[in-house]
Homo-oligomer: A and B are copies of this chain.
Amino acid sequence: MSEVATEHNRIVDAAARLFYERGIHAVGMDAIRTEAGVSLKRLYGEFASKDELIAEVLRRRTEIWDAGIAAAAASAATPRERLLAIYDFLDGWFRTDDFRGCGFINAFGELGAGSPAVAEIARAQKERFQRYVGRLVRELGAPEQLGDQLALLAEGAQTTAAISGRPDAASHARAAAVTLIDVALAA
């Protein structure tokens, strides 16, 4: 049973890695089978279809994202620092070798319209993040709309870092966030 659990995870991890690297359509079930080192039969025993595996990969990705944000916030003492920790987290991520943009944005762009399930998972993930930012903004005592603006900066940094290949998008976003926060608090 623990065997099954680790094989399940191995499949999800392998699929996540390949999907993120090459895009979803470009990766066949056979490549996932090879990367995960399991039989095709087992693969289809764990996931009834590729669509189901895609959904599971995205769900797993939300957990990883949440954990990363939480870890970055853990060493921050104030709501303001926790907000800025988001951009520090992004900065570190953008500098990893295999960074290739936000997996949700990529998945949505590739098959969003054709796959309501994927569109919904991506939407939910972005909403969760917006709510997290909104909560911190409220703790800060700043007006609600600051949260929308700070989330926008984080989204923009991700696509800019991916396409332009400029990791300093994170520090630009951070600088803009500092300005917006200060103005909001001074009002």
Contacts and interface: CB of A to CB of B under 8 A. Distances in A.
Interface in A14-28: 21-23, 25-26
Interface string A106-148: 1111111110000100110011001000000000000001001
A108 B160 contact: no
A165 interface: yes
A182 to B, nearest CB: 8
Interface string A97-113: 00011101111111111
A176 B149 contact: yes
A122 B109 CA distance: 14
Interface residues of A, number: 50
Interface stretch (A54-62, A66-74, A151-159): A151-159
Interface stretch (A3-11, A29-37, A39-47, A167-175): A167-175
A164 interface: yes
A162 interface: yes
B109 A164 contact: no
Nearest to A122: B163
Nearest to A148: B172
Contacts of A127: 164
A179 interface: yes
Contact of A123 (B25, B163, B172, B179): B163
Contacts of A110: 23, 25, 106, 109-110
Contacts of A159: 102, 105, 155-156, 158-159
